[in-house]
Structure 1
Amino acid sequence: MVAVKKEGGPLRKRSLVWFRKGLRVHDNPALLEASQSAAEVYPVFVLDPSIDPTEDGVKIGANRAQFLLESLEDLDQSLKKLGSHLICIRGRPEDVLPPLMRELDINHLGFEFDTEPYWKAQGEKMAKEAENLGARVHCPATHTLYDPEHLMAKCMMDAPKSYGQFLKLVAKCGSPPAVASAPESLPQISKDVLGRKHSGVPTLRDLGYEPLPASERTPFPGGETEALRRLEDQFRDTRRIALFEKPKTSPTDFETPSTTVLSPYLKFGCLSSRVFYFKLKEAYRKNGKHADPPVSLLGQLYWREFFYLCGYAFPNFGKMEGNPICRQIPWDHSEGGKEKLRAWESAQTGYPFIDAAMTQLRQQGWLHHLARHAVACFLTRGDLWVSWEEGRKVFDKLLIDADWSLNNANWMWLSCSSFFYQYFRCYSPVAFGRKYDPSGKYIRNFVPALRKMPKQYIYEPWKAPLSVQEAAGCIVGVDYPMPVCDHAVASKENMSKMAAAYKKAKSESPPPKKKAKKAK
């Protein structure tokens, strides 16, 4: 590392570490590199006006904002233990960071590489600004197991379009890079060096949100400390971790989720994916027998890597139009379609399992992956024929683990727009939930209007005789909405629409290129 020399003075490394994701001290190469032989280190987080903005510029939900703020508070505490603290500043990075770098005479800028279009562009702007100031830039790709540029080079710039192809690519790469050590200490920041520019981590109210009541607050607190505690807790049962198969978990286990719920911590980088990877490998070694991808926990990490690579490699990955791997489907954008979208988002579809899941999403900022599958299929190809982009926006706003690449990929998958094309396989908004929870405990918790409905009608309350509805204190059409559509009719009609869209896409696609014959 070359430090800039001030005239007449010794070499002095003055580092600014720009935290974006990677909200942790462990396995943080950008922080470690910035701290080595540095006279000054300034850890900075920039609170963008929309707070961790989505591609569409939608302000995120209160639970997701709360999770972010808790993660920043925890990071600040970790940095204080090292002798430093977190500096939070408000504004667009390109507006507030360059003046700060000039004021502090920064000659080293460190930040984690990000594949999302918004943050990738921000990173490129800041790298250019830093170089214009004569500063060195260190931008390691540590949010994923592998550097996406390395993966693209390995596949000759032809990114895999299926999970199977991706696994073959990963097999060529070997193990991910080793976990980086945490710095033992950081230089103390002088109290007067930043003056009024320094501010602590704000509150929800500071950011324009009302404080969340306990009933609407996610049960999963943010931060690196909680991430590592949860990781250790999950790995106490090595056999369960080794044999874990995600499809065998239940979408209705809301009190104690049957999955690890580590996804929010991976999304914000409170937990290093490499730490998770090597801990998994050790658990597999200890147990001997283990599940395999795609259903194992290692398989879940590889799904994450695959979708991150897709988001990095394919243009317009967050849209239908101009997206080279996305089917062009004529979704309903009419006023009627917008009304259906509002009913779905506000948990007023009249299908209790769907409404319970959407209520859990709003209250907890989290949903089991199978519940996500059910509500996504219902909104798109299953029942309402609304574009996956609209559902993606809602998830992006409300999920505490909303992850741009994974969110887009999964919505394309569930709408049969990409990755998965068996549109004739459709989730039933009635039978699917009942399979896991016949008594309707999940629905009774998240749809209070149906709390007293007998179990034989809990998934289809409109079929209950009026006397039963009266006894349950829930008149369908008054206290709880009638179904927004008839699933049996809508799903059949939508399958025909999908078949027509697929046929049209096939007729418009160029013929495959013939491989040139090798000369004998």
Structure 2
Amino acid sequence: MLPEAVWRLKCSDRDSVVMSHRTIHLFRKGLRLHDNPTLLGALASSAALFPVYVLDHMFLEGAMRLGPLRWRFILQSLEDLDARLRALGSRLYVLRGSTAAVLRDLVTRWSVTQISYDTEVEPYYARMEQEIQALAQERGLQTYTHVSHTLYDLKRRCSTPAEPDPEQTYGVPSLADLGLENESEVLWPGGETHALQRLHKHFQSQGWVANFSKARTVPNSLLPSTTGLSPYLSLGCLSVRTFYHRLSSVYAQSKNHSLPPVSLQGQVLWREFFYTVASATPNFTKMQGNPICLQIDWYHDPEALEKWRTAQTGFPWIDAIMTQLRQEGWIHHLARHAVACFLTRGDLWISWEEGMKVFEEILLDADYSMNAGNWMWLSASAFFHKYTRIFCPVRFGRRTDPQGQYLRKYLPVLKNFPSQYIYEPWKAPEDVQLSAGCIIGKDYPHPMVCHIEASQRNLGLMRQVRIEQQNTAELTRDVADDPMEVGLKRELHEEEELLEGAEQHSKSKRFSGDADHKSQKLYC
């Protein structure tokens, strides 16, 4: 039996809209109704439109390494999208299986004549689009696709399908249905509704929006000191275009406001930058075969990688960050800097690809372009060339949270340590450790490396790599006439202000010799 999902356009007498197609609108990202030009365009040409999401478990797991936190966020976003569609008299049809196989079946069952979907840049979505185009050619279907970057006003209505049990057939599954478990608190509810609520809340304080500076936010505050919109932008629950124009409106009313690249609008431009580079760079998520990435002989050390991943490095600042990541699926961008530097060029000399995979599995805002791009940046494999800037896993966190409240929250085993020892508990006398109820080496691990020795060794390795691969290093080096150069220097300067005082401690630990050695900063 065919579901009669007819959307009725509200047109004036002078409007003339030809509605002839029976269309499947395939949601992938773009899980929203606001600013969805593909959906709007498909509606304009359709007598019947079926909103569909294919939960292609093998595709999603294979292409994106989704962990339970990310799965939960996706399912919540689907539930929210379904609720918003039902409020308009429609619903979301969620089906499980291979995308190509599901579409092939629905085309026949629903007498479909058109498939619409958002344009995406990731390689795995490009492969999916090839399968859709092949199906369309085989069945004589039309396709409609659009980059999701224009505003619209959706006023549509459709009836529910005449199915024996539509909820069982098309309902959003639970985590348990997918064989997954996650009992952690939901701090980032998925969906367009929560995205728009969060957006509205932040824009109530136009002064905060106008003066936002990325480098002056606090990485270890107990509540996010940034907008927290990144998970919603990543999955398309919030339109980046809507966000950008709301920012432009605030800036237009402000005599003075922060500027790119440290402003909120600058963060959107960085997002566009990584999307642009990723779309034009083969093997962007890999070192081998990636023309802009330095080819580095990273250590293969599964044991060290596992300690980093499971928050067992023995450095409380690093372990607290990784614990927050695992529990909540989100960490501040400077916290990401700290753990990425520690894993790669700072301490462990392990490939950025390994860190990227962990972030891809756990981060709610994991994104093909930005995840890989930022890992290359932070490991100094591409884009970032101040490789002598190494974040100390002790002083970096202590600078903005000297009492260690962040550590006490995410590492309760250390919560009774005095503030003077909580970032370096291995330095606490035995009686202090006994009083705190935590013996280092028993209840909490010793540091897995000596930071000063490891960072000095890695600086030498990185220096040699860059000498040998100078041509590759130059591919993404800043140039003097680059309009972003001034802004980038300002951003780096502000991050240095955040860490002021750290350089003095490291002076006695610096290499002696050439000028490059003299300029290194260990931030210890």
Q: Normalising by structure 2, report the TM-score.
A: 0.84
Q: Would you say the 8 A contact 1:476–1:482 is kept in 2?
A: yes
Secondary structure in 2 aligned to 1:198?
helix
- In structure 1, what residue type is equivalent to 2:402? P
Secondary structure in 1 aligned to 2:146?
coil
Hey, what's the Cα distance between the residues in 2 that align with 1:508 and 1:381?
Answer: 18
The superposition leaves residues 95-134 of structure 1 with CA deviations (integer Å, 9 ceiling, x where unpaired) of 2112211221111211111111111211222123123222
Q: How does 1:77-226 map to 2 (within 5 A)?
A: 77-142=83-148, 179-192=150-163, 198-210=169-181, 212-213=182-183, 216-226=184-194
Q: Which residue of 1 aligns with 2:48?
A: 40
- In structure 2, what residue type is equivalent to 1:373? H
Q: Which residue of 1 aligns with 2:23?
A: 15
Q: Does 1:417 align with 2:381?
A: yes
Q: Would you say the 8 A contact 1:266–1:273 is kept in 2?
A: yes
Q: Which residue of 2 aligns with 1:75?
A: 81
CA gap 1:195/1:66 in 2 versus in 1, 3 angstroms: closer
Gaps of 5+ in 2: 1-17, 476-524
Total equivalences in the alignment: 458
CA gap 1:196/1:287 in 2 versus in 1, 3 angstroms: closer
Hey, what's the Cα distance between the residues in 1 that align with 2:36 and 2:112?
Answer: 20
Alignment counterpart, residue 327 of structure 2, candidates 363, 384, 391:
363
CA gap 1:273/1:499 in 2 versus in 1, 3 angstroms: same
Secondary structure in 1 aligned to 2:187?
coil
The 10-residue stretch of structure 1 (124-133 or 257-266) with the greater mean CA deviation from structure 2: 124-133
Q: Does 1:394 align with 2:400?
A: no
Q: Would you say the 8 A contact 2:293–2:472 is kept in 1?
A: no
Measured after TM superposition, the shift of residue 382 of structure 1 is 0.2
Measured after TM superposition, the shift of residue 304 of structure 1 is 0.4
Q: Which residue of 2 aligns with 1:66?
A: 72
- In structure 2, what residue type is equivalent to 1:483? P
Q: Which residue of 2 aligns with 1:156?
A: none
Hey, what's the Cα distance between the residues in 2 that align with 1:321 and 1:476?
Answer: 40
Hey, what's the Cα distance between the residues in 1 that align with 2:155 and 2:472?
Answer: 60
The 10-residue stretch of structure 1 (193-202 or 97-106) with the greater mean CA deviation from structure 2: 193-202
Alignment counterpart, residue 24 of structure 1, candidates 19, 22, 32:
32
Q: Would you say the 8 A contact 1:18–1:43 is kept in 2?
A: yes
Alignment counterpart, residue 489 of structure 1, candidates 453, 463, 466:
453
Q: Which residue of 2 aligns with 1:498?
A: 462
The superposition leaves residues 246-277 of structure 1 with CA deviations (integer Å, 9 ceiling, x where unpaired) of 110000112x2110000000001000011001
Secondary structure in 2 aligned to 1:332?
coil
Hey, what's the Cα distance between the residues in 1 that align with 2:136 and 2:382?
Answer: 39
Q: Which residue of 2 aligns with 1:258?
A: 225
Q: Which residue of 2 aligns with 1:246?
A: 214
Measured after TM superposition, the shift of residue 405 of structure 1 is 0.5
The superposition leaves residues 146-204 of structure 1 with CA deviations (integer Å, 9 ceiling, x where unpaired) of xxxxxxxxxxxxxxxxxxxxxxxxxxxxxxxxx33132013224223997983200001
Q: Would you say the 8 A contact 1:17–1:110 is kept in 2?
A: yes
Hey, what's the Cα distance between the residues in 2 that align with 1:16 and 1:189?
Answer: 15
Q: Would you say the 8 A contact 2:291–2:472 is kept in 1?
A: no
Q: Normalising by structure 1, report the TM-score.
A: 0.85
Alignment counterpart, residue 197 of structure 2, candidates 229, 248, 262:
229
The superposition leaves residues 56-106 of structure 1 with CA deviations (integer Å, 9 ceiling, x where unpaired) of x63x11111111111000000111112110001111212211221122111
- In structure 1, what residue type is equivalent to 2:49? V
Hey, what's the Cα distance between the residues in 2 that align with 1:276 and 1:195?
Answer: 35
Q: Does 1:474 align with 2:438?
A: yes
Q: How does 1:344-355 map to 2 (within 5 A)?
A: 344-355=308-319
Hey, what's the Cα distance between the residues in 2 that align with 1:180 and 1:137?
Answer: 21
Secondary structure in 1 aligned to 2:57?
coil
Hey, what's the Cα distance between the residues in 1 that align with 2:19 and 2:310?
Answer: 59
Q: Would you say the 8 A contact 1:40–1:189 is kept in 2?
A: no
Q: Which residue of 2 aligns with 1:327?
A: 294
Hey, what's the Cα distance between the residues in 2 that align with 1:362 and 1:235?
Answer: 29
Q: Which residue of 2 aligns with 1:340?
A: 304
Hey, what's the Cα distance between the residues in 1 that align with 2:278 and 2:422?
Answer: 40
Hey, what's the Cα distance between the residues in 1 that align with 2:473 and 2:377?
Answer: 20
- In structure 2, what residue type is equivalent to 1:266? L
Q: Does 1:272 align with 2:236?
A: no
Q: Which residue of 1 aligns with 2:7?
A: none
Secondary structure in 2 aligned to 1:39?
strand
Measured after TM superposition, the shift of residue 13 of structure 1 is 1.5
